[in-house]
Structure 1
C-alpha cells in the first residue's frame, strides 16, 4: 500500500474539533450539547456585511487580485489608523483567513528545520501550521498561577539558537485570554532586535479587551519596522468566521514580496468574502461597544461560577473570549469524551476542548481544558452546572 507523508503522520488532530463525532452521536440521541469548545461567536454578523453580498450586482465572479483589492486594502489601512497603526495599503497582503496568513508568513521567513519560539499554551493550529511548513515549535511555558503572563525574557533567550527565526505571540491570547501590556511588548522588541529575529503577533482579537484595558499592537512600537509581522482576520471581529478573510501586515518589504508569491500561487482570496469584509469596515463603533459589554458579562458569570467548584482553578482572561480551566482530573481528553458519551443532566451535556493540544511540551495541559464563552449567559450557567455535576460523578470512575 502506498505510504502517506511524514508530515501527514505528524499533523496533529485539532483538540477543538476531534471530539465532534462524539458530540454528533449524542445529538442523534436527542441530547442537547452546549458547545464550549470552539470560538464561534453567536453574535450577529453586521447587517452591512451581509447586505453587501446579498445586494451585489456582479455578473461574473472573477478572480480578485492576489494581494486583495486595492480598495479593500486602502480601506483596511484607514481602519488601522483609527487604532494608531500607521500602515499603507501596499504593506497589507490579504489572505484566506488568518490561518493562511500564518502559513504564508512561516513560508516567507522560515526554512524546513528552522525554529519559532511560542509562549504556551497557544492556539492549537500553530502546531499544525508549523508541521505543514517543516518548522519546529520551541515552547516557552507560561503559568496559570501568573494568569499566563509573558514568561521571563531570560526564558526566551535561553531557547534562541542559530535556527531561531521568530517569536510568535497571540494578543489577546487564544486560549488563555491574556492581554500583553505595552511593557511586555517592549521587552520582546528589545529581544528580537538584539538577536535579529522577527516578532509575529496574531492580533485577531484586538477589539475584545475588558476592565478598561487597551490592546497594544506590535505595529505601534517604534523600531520594529523590519521585525514586526502582524496577523489579522475578520473572523472574530465581525463574527464572520466563515468568510475566511485575513491579512499579513508588515513594513518589511522583503516579507511582503515573498508573501505575495505565496498568494499568487493560490491565485486570490474569495471574491464574495472580500465584498463582505470591505463593507464590514463601515460597522459603527456602537456594534463593538455592545459586543464587548456582552462578552465581559459572560466572562464575569463564567469565572464566578467556575470558582464555586471545588478543585477547579481558572485564569482570569482580560481579552478575547476564552479561558483555561484546570480540573481535578488526570486526563481531560478522557473526561471530555466521557461527558459526551455517558454523562447527562436533564438530557444535556457539554463539549469542552482538552488543553493538551494547546501545548507543545509533552505532559502539559492534561488536567486543563479551554472554555470559549461564546454562549448566552443562561447557557453558560447551565454548562458550568453540568461541569460541576460531571466532575462529582467522574470521581467514581477514575
Structure 2
C-alpha cells in the first residue's frame, strides 16, 4: 500500500482542534459545550466591512495582484503609520491569513535543517509550519513564575548555531498574553544584529493591550530594518477570523522579493476578503476602545474566578485574550478529554486547550491549559464554576 510522507507523520495535531470530535459527540448527547479552547471572538465584525462585501458592484470576481491590491496595501501602510511604524505599500505582501504570512516568511529565510529559536509556550501552529518546511524549532522556555517574561538573552546566545536563521516571537503572546517591553525588544534587536539573523514578530493582537501598557513593534526599533519581519492579520483585530486575510511586512527588499515568488505560486489572496479588510481599516477608534474595555473586564473576571480554585496558578495576560492556567492535575490532555466525554453540570461542560501542544520541549505544559476569554462574562463565570466542580470530581 502507498505510504504517506515522513513529514506528514511528524506533522503535529492542533492542541486547539484535536478534541473537536469529543466536543461534537458531547453535543450529540445534548450537552452544551462552553468553548474556552479557541480564539474565536464573539465581538461583532465592524459593519463597514460587512457592508463593503454586501454592497460591492463586481461583475467578475477576478484574480487580484499576487501581493494584494495596491489600494489595500496603500491603506495598510497608512494604518501602520498611525501606529508609528513607517512602511510603504511595497514593504507589504497581503496573504491568506497570518498563517500564510508566516509560511512565506519561513520559506523565504530558511533551508531544510535550519533552525528558528522560539520562546515557549508559543502558538501551536508554529510547530506545524516548521515541520512542513523541514525547519527545526529550537525552544527556549519561559515560566509562569515570572509571567512568561522574555528569558535572559544569555540563554538565547547558548542556542545560536550556524543553522540559526531567526528568532520568532508573538507580541502580545498567544497563548500567554505576555506583552514584550521596548527594552526586551531592544535586547532581541541587539542579538539578531550581532549574529546577522532575522527577528520575526507575530503582531496580530497589537490592538489589545491592558493596564496602561502600549504595544511596541520590532519595526519601531531603530537600526533593525534589514532584520525585522512582521506577521499580521485582520482575524482578531476586526473579529474577521473567516476572512483569512493577513500580511507579511518587511523593509528588507530581498526578503520581500523572495516571498513574492512563494505568493505567485498560490496566485493571489481572496478578492472579497480583501474588499472587507480594506473597508475595515475605516473602523473608528471607538470600536477598539470598546472592544479592549470588554476584553479587560473579561480578563479580570476570569483571573478573579480562577484564583478562587485551590491549586490553580494563573499567568496574568497583558495583551491578546488568552491566559495559561496551571491546574492541580498531572495530564491536562486526559482531563480535557474527560471533561467532554464523562463530565457535565446540569447538561453543560467546558472545552479547554491542553497546553502541552504549545511547547516544543518534551514534558512541558502537561499540567497547564490555555483559556481564551472570548465569551461574554456570564459564560466565563459559568465555565469557571464548571471547571472548579470538575477538578473536585476528577480522579485522574
The match for 1:356 is 356
SS at match of 2:166: strand
**Distance across 2 between alignment mates of 1:155 and 1:314:** 25
Note if 1:118 corresponds to 2:118.
yes
The match for 1:32 is 32
SS at match of 1:158: helix
**Distance across 1 between alignment mates of 2:206 and 2:268:** 25
The match for 1:47 is 47
The match for 2:302 is 302
Note if 1:373 corresponds to 2:344.
no
**Distance across 1 between alignment mates of 2:77 and 2:95:** 15
**Distance across 2 between alignment mates of 1:132 and 1:94:** 21
Note if 1:83 corresponds to 2:71.
no
**Distance across 2 between alignment mates of 1:242 and 1:156:** 36
**Distance across 1 between alignment mates of 2:189 and 2:59:** 48
**Distance across 2 between alignment mates of 1:274 and 1:149:** 35
Q: Give the drift of 1:206.
A: 0.0
Q: Which runs of 5+ in 2 are unaligned?
A: none
For residues 109-258 of structure 1, the aligned pairs below 5 Å read 109-258=109-258
**Distance across 2 between alignment mates of 1:343 and 1:290:** 36
**Distance across 1 between alignment mates of 2:301 and 2:389:** 18
The match for 2:264 is 264
The match for 2:387 is 387
**Distance across 2 between alignment mates of 1:223 and 1:178:** 24
The match for 1:100 is 100
The match for 1:16 is 16
SS at match of 1:137: strand
**Distance across 1 between alignment mates of 2:26 and 2:137:** 35
Q: Give the drift of 1:167.
A: 0.1
Q: Give the drift of 1:115.
A: 0.1
**Distance across 2 between alignment mates of 1:156 and 1:245:** 32
**Distance across 1 between alignment mates of 2:205 and 2:197:** 24
Runs of 4 or more off by more than 2 Å in structure 1? none
**Distance across 2 between alignment mates of 1:220 and 1:68:** 24
Q: Give the drift of 1:29.
A: 1.1
Paired residues, number: 396
SS at match of 2:66: coil
**Distance across 1 between alignment mates of 2:334 and 2:386:** 16
SS at match of 1:224: coil
Q: Give the drift of 1:173.
A: 0.0
Note if 1:72 corresponds to 2:72.
yes
Report the aligned-residue RMSD.
0.4
**Distance across 1 between alignment mates of 2:31 and 2:290:** 32
**Distance across 2 between alignment mates of 1:183 and 1:225:** 17
**Distance across 2 between alignment mates of 1:338 and 1:113:** 38
Q: Give the drift of 1:52.
A: 0.5
SS at match of 2:8: helix
**Distance across 2 between alignment mates of 1:2 and 1:149:** 47
Q: Give the drift of 1:30.
A: 1.0
Q: Which runs of 5+ in 1 are unaligned?
A: none
**Distance across 1 between alignment mates of 2:243 and 2:381:** 30
**Distance across 2 between alignment mates of 1:315 and 1:97:** 28
Q: TM-score w.r.t. structure 1 length?
A: 0.99
Q: TM-score w.r.t. structure 2 length?
A: 1.00
